Amino acid sequence: LLLITFVLFIVKICESRSIETTDSSSVVNERPNFEQYQQQRAEFIEKEEKRFLGADLSLSDDEKIVNEHLMKLKQADLDRGFNDSYNFIPARNFLEMLEQTESSQLFQFIRRLPKGGIMHAHLTALGSNELILNATYLKHLWQKGDFDEETGPKFKFARDLSTEKGWKPVAEIRNKMTVEVYDLKLNDLLSLNVPDPVNAYKSIDSIWKRFENIFTMKKPLVSYEPVWRQYYLATLQQLYDDKVNYLEFRSGFPKIHTLKNNLLPATKIIQAMIDDTEAFKKTHPDFLGVKMIYTTHRFGDNASLAWHMENVASLHKKFPNFVVGFDLVGQEDPGKSLLVYAQKLLEFPKSINFFFHAGETNWFGMKTDFNLVDAVLLGTKRVGHGFALIKHPSLLEEFKRRRICVELNPISNQVLKLVEDYRNHPGAVLFSDNYPVVVSSDDPAMWRATPLSHDFYIAFLGIASAHHDLRLIKQLALNSIEYSAMNPEEKDVAREKWLAIWNNAMKEL
């Protein structure tokens, strides 16, 4: 009897669950009338947009006026692109659409908006090429090689290289070629800009080779002490002019030399940058400051890493509020993975935070995108690029749970051939679901961009939803403070100062 009762009980439960399942599926699949359909559609879209990055912000009366104008300009660019998809700026290569970008009224308006800070930029590719060009007019600059060579000419500041084979004074070469021709050729060599970038750079490897060659060519120009000081201060001014109020730059062990080719102590260089930053803040009271993330290439062995660990630890100990973190740089696919270095990296002092490049790749399931796993396990505070992140759902959850910020660099990702059309950029997923994210510029001088405005324009028009508005821009700026390497007290002060800057801009605009 007990057995029969138990069987009947189980049958009844199964029937009940079957009915529930049937009822549930019938409700889901039931077709609404048109009025219900419209209501459900509006509710669905509203529910989605409540998950947007920036959706939690409320706009003031001043912000609403600015937002109305901003969205009119955005809609105009969207409409032009929707009606003529070939000429939609974010659908084409940035290198061939630079002029059209700068003629956009939306871009010009975004230039006037405060943007917070830059969280991901390599210092020697942040200041404009004009700063490098100006440096070639200084005395004692020598050149070896021709502009037509694949790697370009070599440069060196020295009192006299006339007895060394192949070296000639730049002033002499410039006069012989004429100023106009020389400067044009040099300017072309300092960037990746070409008339037909799609065919000029056939692969990621080919453009990375050219990219690295530019860094190599520039290094002896910016590493001369008088140039370095001028370059650093002029770069801060260019940031400020672009409505950027804070910077965390990436740079290797500073090797700055004198005219006699004597290397200056790294501590002297760091102290000079701190002094120059403080002097800049005195003349620009609303500039919030600068911090450095120490870098080395991801191609060295563990002995090399140990040397850099010792140096960054020493610099961090002496300048704890300036040298704040560590990263590995260079093309990720051919470079060594974080796993190779993991055992050594775990020995780093706890006070030195990690800000790893990771997932700057199109591959899936390879050593490169698994750098994202290692970055998380190593305790990274932010991730540079994170292009492959959306292919890893568990990692996405971890990034949200741990509040690991993704440093998006839209133009860099396209120029270096990870994506052709910005509408397909994975950052759209991060924008759509309120992930911790900032927009940065990586190496803007390499493609003749402003420090940050071009990337904000591309992100706002090409990656974000057509419905993303001023709140997205404000949230991105606020995120650059929230996820910065500033300590809590510094963040509170910076946030208060920046909100005052923002509110003043809203009144003026």
Q: Which residues are catalytic?
A: 360, 385
- C-alpha 2/C-alpha 257 separation (Å) is 93
Q: Which residue has the tokens 């002060």?
A: 493
Check: CB of residue 416 under 8 Å from CB of residue 207: yes
Distance CA 84, CA 499 (A): 38
Placement of tokens 């009119």 in the chain: 72
Bridge partner residues of 323 (DSSP) = 292
Residue 447: which residues within 8 A CB-CB, separation 6 or more? 94, 95, 98, 191, 192, 193, 411, 415
Q: What are phi and psi of 326, to 5 degrees?
A: -140, 150
- Among the residues of 84-203, which ranges form H helices? 98-103, 105-111, 129-135, 170-177, 179-189, 197-200
Q: How is 408-464 classified by DSSP, letter by letter?
A: E-HHHHHHTTS-SSGGG-THHHHHHTT-SEEE--BSGGGGT--SSHHHHHHIIIIIS
Q: Which residue has the tokens 């003043």?
A: 504
